[in-house]
């Protein structure tokens, strides 16, 4: 079976980092070779764009500039890292991908869905993950969890309404492509979240190994 491209998504404090470790363990247990990456980022240039995107700054960043930089980074990431790794037979797990652009720049910044779909075609020729784990959580809970980590980046300084729109946009993405998504209620205890992920992800591995 061909190597699979898996993404992890969700708004602040949903536990992406924590549960990415669990997915790594499940892949190792199944003897599947994999690499881990993230967005924005994943190549030298894309990581430089990440720094520019996340830095807090006095100059306002227009939603359009933010959108174009996200896709510039993603184009580099897909061509220079993700596709070559898949071609080598390694599964790829990415902490965020294009669904995050629909959620943050579409939902959060209110840019048009159609514009993002067009850029997805231009920048990455519509390249999509095989599976997306969506950690869904009320932003009031998520921001509380994220606050325990310390300093906020440029996105984390947004108002609660921004994160409510991000959450709704993620759920809209899922409704548009239900077979690709694995939805997990991230408001549960970490133990329950991980039981649910283990069950669903192992079922996916059974089908695709
Ligand atoms: N962005 C964008 O706008 N457009 C795009 O196209 C892309 C990205 C790709 C960087 O993302 C920013 O870029 C992001 C969106 C934007 N906005 N922000 N901010 P990032 O992924 O690098 O940053 P992040 O969203 O802040 O993710 P994170 O720091 O990795 O958080 P997390 O992975 O969701 O959470 P965590 O660190 O695993 O968990 C947070 C805390 O909660 C931690 O102490 C855990 O122990 C705890 N936790 C986790 N799960 C539980 C449960 N179930 N119960 C209790 N406590 C828990």
> Cis omega (within 30 of 0) on the bond before 40?
yes
Could you read off the pLDDT of 165-208 as tens digits, one per residue? 999 999 999 999 999 999 999 999 999 999 999 999 999 999 99
Nearest-10 Cα torsion for 192, 209, 80, 47? 10
Backbone angles phi, psi at 36, to 5 degrees: -115, 140
pLDDT at 59 over 80: yes
**By residue range, what is the domain housing residue 142?**
5-207
For ligand 1, atom 1, the nearest C-alpha belongs to: 100
Please state the separation of Cα 1 from the chain's center in Å.
24
Q: What percent of the chain has pLDDT over 70?
A: 100
pLDDT at 154 over 80: yes
pLDDT at 12 over 80: yes
What whole-number distance in Å separates Cα of residue 56 and Cα of residue 125?
A: 31
- For residue 155, give the CATH number of its domain: 3.40.50.300
The pTM (predicted TM-score) of the whole model is 0.96
Domain count for the chain, please give it: 1
Q: In whole numbers, what is the pLDDT of the chain averaged over residues?
A: 96
What is the average per-residue pLDDT within 50-70? 96
CA atoms within 13 Å, Cβ hemisphere of 171 = 11
Q: What pLDDT, on a 0 to 100 scale, did the predictor assign at position 130?
A: 98
Ligand 1 pocket check for 14: Cβ under 6 Å: yes
The β-bridge relationship of strands 181-185 and 131-136 is parallel
In sequence order, the β-bridge partners of residue 131 are 6
Nearest-10 Cα torsion for 143, 138, 155, 50? 100
Structure tokens belonging to residue 157? 């300084």
Could you read off the pLDDT of 106-147 as tens digits, one per residue? 999 999 999 999 999 999 999 999 999 999 999 999 988 888
Alpha helix (H) residue ranges in 177-208: 190-208
Q: What pLDDT, on a 0 to 100 scale, did the predictor assign at position 152?
A: 78
Ligand 1 centroid – CA 10 distance (Å)? 7
What is the average per-residue pLDDT within 14-31? 96
Ligand 1 centroid – CA 65 distance (Å)? 22
Pairwise pLDDT comparison (206 vs 156), residue with the higher score: 206
Structure tokens belonging to residue 199? 């069950």
Ligand 1 centroid – CA 146 distance (Å)? 7
Ligand 1 pocket check for 77: Cβ under 6 Å: no
Pairwise pLDDT comparison (90 vs 148), residue with the higher score: 90
């Amino acid at each position: 079976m061909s190597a699979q491209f898996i993404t992890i998504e969700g708004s602040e404090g949903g536990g992406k980092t924590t549960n990415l470790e669990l997915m790594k363990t499940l892949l190792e247990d199944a003897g599947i070779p994999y690499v881990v990456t993230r967005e924005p980022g994943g190549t030298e240039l894309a990581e430089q764009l990440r720094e520019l995107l996340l830095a807090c700054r006095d100059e306002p960043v227009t939603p359009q500039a933010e959108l174009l930089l996200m896709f510039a980074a993603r184009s580099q990431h897909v061509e220079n890292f993700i596709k070559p790794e898949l071609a080598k037979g390694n599964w790829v797990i990415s902490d965020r991908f294009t669904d995050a652009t629909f959620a943050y720049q579409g939902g959060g910044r209110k840019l048009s869905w159609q514009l993002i779909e067009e850029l997805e075609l231009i920048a990455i020729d519509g390249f999509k993950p095989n599976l997306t784990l969506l950690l869904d959580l009320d932003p009031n809970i998520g921001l509380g969890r994220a606050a325990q980590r310390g300093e906020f980046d440029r996105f984390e300084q947004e108002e609660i309404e921004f994160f409510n729109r991000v959450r709704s946009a993620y759920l809209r993405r899922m409704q548009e492509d239900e077979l690709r998504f694995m939805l997990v209620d991230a408001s549960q205890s970490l133990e329950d979240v991980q039981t649910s992920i283990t069950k669903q992800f192992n079922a996916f591995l059974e089908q695709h190994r």
